[in-house]
C-alpha cells in the first residue's frame, strides 16, 4: 500500500502573496498529520518563492511523521540539507521561469556534479531520491548515480487526455517495475488529483505518492464555508467592548505586572 506525502508549498504560496504570516505551513503541517499524512514534503526553491528557510527549520523540529525536502542539486541546497538532516531529500530540476517543476531530472547528462551531491547527502545519512521521468535510460542512470530512490514524474499521466491516459499509466507501471529491478525504491508525484490518483496508488511496488495542489484546492472547498461562517459571526455580532486601549478586552502585554495581574 502506498503512503501519502503531503506537499505544503501552496500554503506558503498564499502567505507569500501578501508577505505576511498566514497561512503558516508549519502549523498546518500538524493538521495534515492529524488527517493521516505519512510525510510532509516541501520544496525550498532557490528563489524562495514559497517555502522559506524558517519553514524548513521549524518543520524539522515539529514534523512527527517524515520530512521530505525537495530541492535543486546545488552546493547551497546541499549545505542546507546537511545542516537540517531531513528524512529524505528529493532532487528536482529547477528553472526560475517555471510555474512549477517541469519534467524530471536529466540524470544521463547531469554527470559527476550530481553524483557528488548525492554522495555528500547520503554520507550525511540522508536518503536521496531523484525526480525522474519513467524512462528506461533515466532509470539506469539513476541507479548508476548511487541514489537509492526515484520519484517517478506523474505529470505526463496527469496531463494526458482520456485516450492517452492508459498509455501513460502503462509507462509508470513499467517504470516502477524497471526501477525495482535496478534496485531502486519508488515514489511518484506531480499533478495527481482526487480523480486520477487511484490507478497510480495501485501500482505494485509504489511506496509513496507526493501530492500537494489538489489537496490544497480541496481544503479550500471543504473548509471555505466554515471560514466564512466564522468571519460572518464576527462581522454580524461584534463584541462592543474596545479591543485595545482603556478598558480593553485585549491587554497590552506591557501593562501586565510581574504577578501577571493587569
153 is catalytic: no
Going by C-beta distance under 8 Å and a sequence separation of 6 or more, which residues neighbour residue 170?
A: none
How many angstroms separate the CA atoms of 174 and 185, rounded?
Answer: 14
207 near ligand PXP, rule: CB under 6 A: no
Contact call for residues 7 and 189 (beta carbons, < 8 A): yes
Going by C-beta distance under 8 Å and a sequence separation of 6 or more, which residues neighbour residue 237?
A: none
Q: Which helix (H) or strand (E) holds 129?
A: strand 128-132
168 is catalytic: no
Q: Which of 62, 180, 213, 219 binds ligand PXP (CB under 6 A)?
A: 213
9 near ligand PXP, rule: CB under 6 A: yes
142 near ligand PXP, rule: CB under 6 A: no
Q: Which of 10, 50, 117, 190 is catalytic?
A: 190
How many angstroms separate the CA atoms of 145 and 139, rounded?
Answer: 10
151 near ligand PXP, rule: CB under 6 A: yes
Length of the chain: 262
Contact call for residues 25 and 59 (beta carbons, < 8 A): yes
Q: Which of 2, 7, 45, 114 binds ligand PXP (CB under 6 A)?
A: 7
50 near ligand PXP, rule: CB under 6 A: no
Q: Which of residues 75-114 bind ligand PXP (CB under 6 A)?
A: 90, 92, 100-101
Q: Which of 50, 70, 117, 208 is catalytic?
A: 70
Residues forming the active site:
43, 70, 190
Residues in contact with ligand PXP by CB under 6 A are 7, 9, 43, 70, 90, 92, 100-101, 131, 151, 189-192, 210-214
Amino acid at each position: 500500500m502506498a503512503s501519502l506525502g503531503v506537499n505544503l508549498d501552496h500554503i506558503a504560496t498564499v502567505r507569500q502573496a501578501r508577505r505576511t504570516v498566514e497561512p503558516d505551513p508549519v502549523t498546518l503541517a500538524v493538521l495534515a498529520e492529524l488527517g493521516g499524512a505519512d510525510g510532509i514534503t516541501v520544496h525550498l526553491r532557490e528563489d524562495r518563492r514559497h517555502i522559506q528557510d524558517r519553514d524548513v527549520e521549524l518543520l524539522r523540529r515539529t514534523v512527527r511523521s517524515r520530512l521530505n525536502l525537495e530541492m535543486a542539486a546545488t552546493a547551497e541546497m546541499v549545505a542546507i540539507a546537511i545542516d537540517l538532516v531531513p528524512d529524505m531529500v528529493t532532487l528536482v530540476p529547477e528553472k526560475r521561469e517555471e510555474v512549477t517543476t517541469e519534467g524530471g531530472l536529466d540524470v544521463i547528462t547531469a554527470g559527476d556534479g550530481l553524483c557528488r551531491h548525492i554522495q555528500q547527502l547520503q554520507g550525511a545519512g540522508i536518503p536521496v531520491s531523484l525526480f525522474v521521468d519513467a524512462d528506461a535510460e533515466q532509470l539506469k542512470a539513476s541507479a548508476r548515480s548511487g541514489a537509492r530512490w526515484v520519484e517517478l514524474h506523474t505529470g505526463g499521466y496527469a496531463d494526458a487526455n482520456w485516450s492517452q491516459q492508459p498509455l501513460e499509466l502503462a509507462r509508470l507501471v513499467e517504470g516502477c517495475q524497471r526501477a525495482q529491478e535496478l534496485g531502486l525504491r519508488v515514489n511518484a508525484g506531480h499533478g495527481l488529483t482526487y480523480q486520477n490518483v487511484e490507478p497510480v496508488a495501485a501500482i505494485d511496488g509504489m511506496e509513496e505518492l507526493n501530492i500537494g495542489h489538489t489537496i490544497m484546492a480541496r481544503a479550500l472547498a471543504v473548509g471555505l464555508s466554515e471560514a466564512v461562517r466564522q468571519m460572518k459571526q464576527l462581522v454580524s455580532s461584534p463584541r462592543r467592548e474596545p479591543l485595545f486601549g482603556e478598558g480593553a478586552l485585549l491587554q497590552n502585554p506591557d501593562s501586565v505586572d510581574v504577578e501577571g495581574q493587569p
